Amino acid sequence: MTKEHYDYIIVGAGSAGCVLANRLSENTRHKVLLLEAGGSDAKFWIKTPLGYAKTFMDPKVNWRYSTAPDNGLNGRETYWPRGRVIGGSGSINAMAYLRGLPHDFDDWEQAGATGWGWSAVKKTYDAIESNSEILPNGKRHTRGDGPLLVSDLSDQMHPFSKHFLKAAVDMGWPVSDNINGAENEGLSMVRSTVRHGRRWSTADAYLRPARKRPNLHIMTGALVERVVLHQGRATGVTYRISDQIHLANAGKEVILSAGAINSPQLLQLSGIGPADLLKKHGIAVYQDLRQVGQGLQDHLAISHYFRATEPTLNNKLGNVFGQMIAGARYLLTRTGPLSVPVNQVSGYVRSNASVAAPDVQIYCNPMSYMTAKSGQPGVESEPGFLVCAQLSRPTSRGSVNIASDDPTCAPIIQPNSLSTNQDRVMAVQASKTLQALAQTPAIQVVTKERLSPDITEMDDAEMLENFRNRAGTVFHPSCTCRMGNDATDSVLDAHLKVHGVRKLRVVDASAFPNVTSGNTNAPTIMLAARAADIILQDA
């Protein structure tokens, strides 16, 4: 076994880990080790914005998890892709950048995450972002000087997407230029982490500039097996590369940024978690911390598909010739259909006028898909589109628990979808919102056919059953190592320190006290940037 010595050890080079690696290595006196189980993100389909359809099932860059049978979804097992590559899930996601709604973070603070309210996190968002925007004269302007470029791609989106904004007007919803701006209710063209026609993840924005620092060591293909614990503190980690076991010691801290599935798994493998679970798998209990792996939240959404009377992206990408043309255009100019994520219109809306804040997220895509038996998504040949509704703030909570003491064995993911009556009511309300959207004049005029099942013909009971049978994850797992008041209700304190264990933190989406109203990549990056400030201040 080889032995190594560092100040900070970061486990996971995902959206959070890349931020931490940059910030903690800025001081050349800090020797930093970044460990990633996957490999390089220098791959064509990772860097191509529409390439995430290719990485969706790719075991070379994806953990390819599946959940346990989920009673709330009529016993279905659902597929959960998670990034196993530099950049993590930020290298295989749809690049949508939504900060979340102000009350999301005020709720974090009320849950015990002191200092994480909206007024505080907004300052962090403003600091980390550069916003590439389109001026009224058509020219581009960049606002802000943060490392993370967030781009307005509306000038490159498919013309069909304008029908979705017209439908928003029909629904009485606001239409915004930027859903992350002052007007954060209603629909808008999606802002994306894309730069010059290429994905711009934190691996690009944060890790790449830090790579040449001699005090930052990046190890890929490194599966961390345990956190080493001694006398109440984390002293390092053991990790495996091929058949070689390494022991890395941390003089200052060990930081887990392995994501909402792997961070709780690693804590449990290390003896930190529910004592009965650890004993069941023959793991010595170091800290009986019962909330580790518990409290899992995710976003569920229901999609419906339509044949279109006008050309959509299907016309360009649903046949070999069109794909060749789009590919050539992208290679030559970094423009065209491959340069823009398919999630083109989205936003937060209220399911009815009586609710205090938006409770549904809408997605509208100018393309329809089919899913092969392998699970790989594909583009249909006929012009089509989809509309989708997501429960923004679910109340159901699930769990992530180890199935074995073997670090290579996937944990058991139990989402417990729709386990609360509130979520079942919301599933119907979200479906009703989609039902109304599908019947707006703007959507009806471009609808050639509503594909089965037709949501416009369903009553409440049928909508709930449709949701149980067809709804799927939007790939936003979170909260499995959440911040809170103490060990009875959480895993971490407001400084992201693991209760009862010194020199050990968790910095990723698992630390969310509750899931935000929309896509979780932006909040994860923000959380990591704030965490870096906290870690350096504490040091």
Buried b (16+ CB within 10 A) or exposed e, 200-213: bbbbbbbbbebeee
pLDDT at 233 over 90: yes
> Which residues have C-beta within 8 Å of that of residue 88, sequence separation ≥ 6?
12, 13, 14, 15, 16, 17, 18, 82, 259
Give the pLDDT confidence score for residue 221 in this predicted structure.
Answer: 98
Pair 442, 309: CB distance under 8 Å: no
**CB-based burial label for 28 (10 Å; 0-12, 13-18, 19+):** exposed
Residue 476 annotated to the active site: yes
**CB-based burial label for 452 (10 Å; 0-12, 13-18, 19+):** exposed
Domain limits, the chain: 2-44+202-297+478-538, 154-189+300-391+418-470
pLDDT at 373 over 60: no
Q: CA 113, 260, 96, 435 torsion: positive or negative?
A: negative
CATH code given to domain 154-189+300-391+418-470: 3.30.410.40
Structure tokens at 399: 């769990």
Q: What is the mean pLDDT of residues 173-187?
A: 92
Q: Which of 106-110, 273-277, 366-370, 512-516 has the lowest mean pLDDT?
A: 366-370
Give the pLDDT confidence score for residue 539 in this predicted structure.
Answer: 87
Q: Out of 163, 304, 476, 499, which one is annotated catalytic?
A: 476
Q: Do domains 2-44+202-297+478-538 and 154-189+300-391+418-470 have the same CATH topology?
A: no
Mind listing the pLDDT tens digit for each residue in 382-392? Answer: 999 999 999 99
pLDDT at 369 over 90: no
Mean model confidence pLDDT for the chain: 96
pLDDT at 370 over 90: no
Buried b (16+ CB within 10 A) or exposed e, 392-417: bbbebbbbbbbeeeebeebbebbbbb
Contacts by 282-289 with C-beta closer than 8 Å and gap 24+? 282/405, 283/405, 286/229, 286/501, 287/498, 287/499, 287/500, 287/501, 289/487, 289/491, 289/498, 289/499, 289/500
Band of residue 2 on the pLDDT scale cut at 50, 70, 90:
confident
Mind listing the pLDDT tens digit for each residue in 67-87? Answer: 999 999 999 999 999 999 999
Pair 394, 365: CB distance under 8 Å: no
Q: What is the mean pLDDT of residues 427-431?
A: 98
Give the pLDDT confidence score for residue 377 in this predicted structure.
Answer: 74
Main-chain phi, psi angles of 190, to 5 degrees = -75, 135
* CA distances from residue 273 to 122, 231, 294, 376, 407 in whole angstroms, order as listed: 33, 17, 10, 35, 15
Is this prediction's pTM over 0.85?
Answer: yes
Give the pLDDT confidence score for residue 374 in this predicted structure.
Answer: 57
Select 2-44+202-297+478-538's CATH number: 3.40.50.2020, 3.20.19.10, 3.40.50.620, 3.50.50.60.
Answer: 3.50.50.60
